Amino acid sequence: MKKIIALALLISSASVQANLKQAVEAFEQGDDERAQSLFEASSEQVEAKIYLGRLWLAQDADEAEQWIEQAVTQAPQNSEAHYTRGIIMGQQAGNSVFSALSYAEKSLYSFNRAVELAPDNTEYRQGLMNFYLQAPGIAGGDMDLALAQVKEIENLDQRAGMAARLSYLNAEEDQQGYQQLLSSAKQALPGIPDFYVQAGMDLVREEKYPQAIAEFTLAINQPAADEESLTGRYIAMYQLGRASVMGKTQVEQGVAALQTYLKQAPLTRKLPSHAWASFRLANLYELQGNKAEAKQLYQSIQSSRDKKLAKDVKKKLKTL
């Protein structure tokens, strides 16, 4: 009888793990509806609770808070749970007027706890650094403590360290230091698209679209030898198309970049969705006067679960 029970438990555990694996894959591919269903089916697991917190954050921060609090209670030594709690509580602080300081305190505690549990994780340290950079002093913001995290990240990883230092210089409004480091980062880490993408995004914010497109082109042309760099290259393709739309310039180059993106870029949360890429491509088809193809693309994404995208598509279809 004991052997039968043990076998049943083993089969049950294997089933739960298989379900979680499918749920994580759906989440990473941006299939939120399927991911949520699968995670809820395994909601007794800490990992499922963490992911449900992330999923709900875009829809209902209070629901996200409930899931992540359950995860931290169930597994107080889980660094990912604390890191995710830091993100959720940070958003709650921004959403709340009367409880902002309380939520900020919870966010700071959670980021600190994640770093304590996993001190070599640069993502956790970046979360803590960003809190110190972005929060007002009364809520725990502190430039000196942010700088301390920058130095720790630099000791752990050159690439992440340069990105962290750039964030710090930007927050300090040290534009000379920022531009000098951004230029040297391109030289110090050849073949990596990240810093060309960052330069391009800066130029987009300044509405210097042709110059931004030039930076995105350089990013796309980097060798991109690892997965992170390949992700950066795909981001550059999307952002080039977006800059082309915003500036109404170099339209053919924008079309080519987005068409390549839609053919090659994987479905992952690390990248803009294919639906948004299709929307930008349709925008460019309109600029080319190709209304029929633009309309076809808009129609293909009009049922998107992304509320903003669906609203923008609806407006576009009314004008065609």
Tens-place pLDDT, residues 275-287: 999 999 999 999 9
Full-model pTM: 0.89
Q: How confident is the model at residue 6 (pLDDT cuts 50, 70, 90)?
A: very low
Average pLDDT of the segment spanning 165-181: 97
CA 3 to chain centre: 46
Identify whether the C-beta of residue 238 lies closer than 8 Å to the C-beta of residue 258.
yes
pLDDT of residue 7: 41
User: In the chain, pLDDT over 90 holds for what percent of residues?
Assistant: 86
pLDDT of residue 224: 83
Identify whether the C-beta of residue 81 lies closer than 8 Å to the C-beta of residue 50.
yes
Identify whether the C-beta of residue 78 lies closer than 8 Å to the C-beta of residue 118.
no
Spatial distance between the Cα atoms of 233 and 291, rounded to a whole number of angstroms? 29
Q: How confident is the model at residue 9 (pLDDT cuts 50, 70, 90)?
A: very low
**What average pLDDT does the structure give for the chain?**
93
Q: Which long-range contacts (CB under 8 A, 24 or more apart) does 227-234 make?
A: 228/194, 229/191, 229/192, 229/193, 229/194, 231/268, 231/270, 231/271, 232/192, 232/193, 232/194, 232/197, 233/193, 234/261, 234/264, 234/265, 234/271
Question: pLDDT digits over 201-223, tens only?
Answer: 999 999 999 999 999 999 999 98
Question: pLDDT digits over 226-257, tens only?
Answer: 999 999 999 999 999 999 999 999 999 999 99
Average pLDDT of the segment spanning 307-311: 92
Residue 25 pLDDT > 90: yes
pLDDT of residue 10: 40
Question: pLDDT digits over 109-153, tens only?
Answer: 999 999 999 999 999 999 999 999 999 999 999 999 999 999 999
Average pLDDT of the segment spanning 188-194: 92
Q: How confident is the model at residue 320 (pLDDT cuts 50, 70, 90)?
A: confident
Q: How confident is the model at residue 1 (pLDDT cuts 50, 70, 90)?
A: low
Of 10-24, 151-165, 229-243, 292-306, give the lowest mean pLDDT range: 10-24
pLDDT of residue 175: 96
Report the candidate in 239, 265, 235 with the shortest Cα–Cα distance to residue 253.
Answer: 239
